[in-house]
Amino acid sequence: ERLTRPGRIVASGASAGGMLVGAAVNMRPDLFGGVYAEVPFVDCLNTLLDRDLPLTEASFSEFGNPIESRADFVNIQSYSPYENVRAQAYPPMLISQSLNDSRVPYWEAAKWAAKLRHLKTDDNPVILYIKMRGGHSGGSGRFDNLEDYARAYAFALGITARGRMTRPPTPW
């Protein structure tokens, strides 16, 4: 339909939607001008292999059980964003995570950001923003969610207004 072109799309996803965005940017980073991932479930394989985490068993019906099924293990490994980061150019990324998230632990986003920074072959920023208040569903303060929206929009507008950015906007 020619509604956009590569490099002008800012992908956004939260939780399992963050997993989808992470998988897509690993596969075709050239399509995206930027990525905003909020509380992203990006270390899928390691999380689903750890029965001690509170939601692992409940997630088997949605994602498969890599502990008991070799086919599920291979399938999850094929799309898990953390497992598939490789040496290539990535668009600017803003990864937002809550320290007290009981569904997606903060270390998933931190590990993903660290691996991206280590392996990527460009100068685009990978920003990891850890929120000290709130949880998986957002902030706990009166204006926390509004600040989250402002941060995400400032990031996306900074990219789309200028093309690929070299410096992240700093609305915080």
Q: Is 124 within 8 Å of 89 (Cβ atoms)?
A: yes
CB 151 within 8 A of CB 171: yes
Q: Which of 15, 59, 72, 144 is catalytic?
A: 15
Query: Is 52 in the active site?
Result: no
E strand segments, the chain: 9-14, 32-38, 93-98, 126-131
The question of whether 101 is a catalytic residue gets the answer yes
Asked whether the beta carbons of 12 and 152 are under 8 A apart, the reply is yes
43, 80, 101, 148: the catalytic one is: 101
> Which residue, among 4, 73, 11, has the nearest Cα to 40 in the 3D structure?
11
State how far the Cα of 97 lies from the Cα of 15, in Å rounded to an integer.
10
3-state helix, strand, coil in the chain (%, to 5): 40, 15, 45
123 is catalytic: no
> Could you list the active site residues?
15, 101, 136
